[in-house]
A and B are shown apart, each in its own frame.
Chain A
Amino acid sequence: NAGVTQTPKFQVLKTGQSMTLQCAQDMNHNSMYWYRQDPGMGLRLIYYSASEGTTDKGEVPNGYNVSRLNKREFSLRLESAAPSQTSVYFCASSRQGEKSDTQYFGPGTRLTVL
């Protein structure tokens, strides 16, 4: 039982390049999330998927797209990377998305955009 896995762990991009961050969970959770973590700002929600087949914007969606490929996988795409997207990205999942649900986090992807 691996929990939530993310690839890659590290990535360096040049401004304007594109990339996709991959996330998968093996806990049969319905809800999945993408966050970014910046110093002094905690975690901010980029997009979430309440259930397979649905996605919704979070607090900071600009510059990103997501795909809920199936129940297990939720990817985050940067179409044209900008230095402001330098951050640590975390994927998370929860059972149902109810207010009492615990979120389970992956180990993170550290992205640098030059």
Chain B
Amino acid sequence: GNSVTQMEGPVTLSEEAFLTINCTYTATGYPSLFWYVQYPGEGLQLLLKATKADDKGSNKGFEATYRKETTSFHLEKGSVQVSDSAVYFCALSNPGGFKTIFGAGTRLFVKA
């Protein structure tokens, strides 16, 4: 079946450090891939997405590239800020779309 595996947290970085959060997936067919972010006390919101192989999603300085050959969708940001502290979820959605599969989430702490 479909699954998403992302690196365990928490990840603790200093401000302006480089961020990578790894995400790999198992899926049949050609899923869409997503990164959602959850700030404290809030619901999830879309950070970026990619709908086909080699697509790069980007938003607010974050990027992720849909790599079908390695079944990966790693999240990167060149210089994190304290305001990026949140929980990040990798997710996939197959045709039919309704049963989105979420990873367990990775908590990021950024220190000033």
Interface string of A81-95 (1 = CB under 8 A from B): 000000000101010
Q: How far is the CB of B10 from chain A (nearest CB, A)?
A: 12
The SS class assigned to the B binding surface is loop
Residues of A contacting B4 with CB < 8 Å? Answer: 42
Q: How far is the CB of B22 from chain A (nearest CB, A)?
A: 15
Query: Which size bracket describes the interface of B in this complex?
Result: 20 to 34
* Size of A's binding interface in residues, CB under 8 A: 30
Q: How far is the CA of A4 from the CA of B45 in the complex (A)?
A: 11
Q: How far is the CA of A45 from the CA of B93 in the complex (A)?
A: 13
CB of B62 closer than 8 Å to a CB of A: no
Asked if residues B49 and A100 are in contact (CB atoms below 8 Å), the reply is: yes
**Which residues does A use to contact B, with CB under 8 Å?**
4, 31, 33, 40-45, 48, 50, 56, 58-59, 90, 92, 94, 96-108
